[in-house]
Amino acid sequence: MGETGTQNAEAAAAVITRWVEFAAIGIELLAVVIIVAVILTGTAVYVFRILAQQADVNTYTNYRHTVARALLLGLEILVAADVIRTIALEPTLQNALVLGLLVLIRTFLGWSLVIEIEERWPWKPSRVETEASHISGKNLDEARSEKRL
């Protein structure tokens, strides 16, 4: 009786392990499909606009942002797959350290892509913030000059 229970538990653990591995592979495939699909779609739109002579100053910038967003989303999904694989399948210290290194590298790449998308350093104000401060500054100056009159 005891061996049958142990064998059933081992069989159940093997099935769960297989499903977790399939889930991690599925998540990785999802990331690759998203990256490839968005890059192909973005490239097709970019080429179409150039060939149709509808391209303007922002066409290339929009294309770069589309590709960067696809890569950023793909990186985030790949990190999720790595976490699932490491934590659920083989939670050893070595695998945790490798996961930490992968997450660190992908975080740096993600940060670089965000800088590329926003076209500014994180410590610089965004264009919206700068424009808002100029507008509020003008309104404040106008209010002060009207008060003096």
Q: At what angle do helices 93-118 and 57-84 cross, to 10 degrees?
A: 170
For residues 136-148, average pLDDT? 54
CA 146 to chain centroid: 49
121 is written with which tokens? 């350093």
Q: What tens digit of pLDDT does each residue of 61-119 get? A: 889 889 988 988 998 898 888 888 888 777 888 888 888 898 888 888 888 888 888 87
Q: What tens digit of pLDDT does each residue of 36-52 get? A: 999 999 999 999 998 98
Question: Measured between alpha carbons, how far is 62 from 19 in angstroms, rounded to an integer?
Answer: 39
Chain mean pLDDT for the chain: 82
- Tell me: pLDDT of 149 over 70: no
Domain boundaries, the chain: 2-118, 124-149
Q: What is the DSSP string of the chain?
A: -HHHHHHHHHHHHHHHHHHHHHHHHHHHHHHHHHHHHHHHHHHHHHHHHHHTT---HHHHHHHHHHHHHHHHHHHHHHHHHHHHIIIII---HHHHHHHHHHHHHHHHHHHHHHHHHHTS-TTSPPHHHHHHHHHHHHHHHHHHHHHH-
- Tell me: pLDDT of 33 over 90: yes
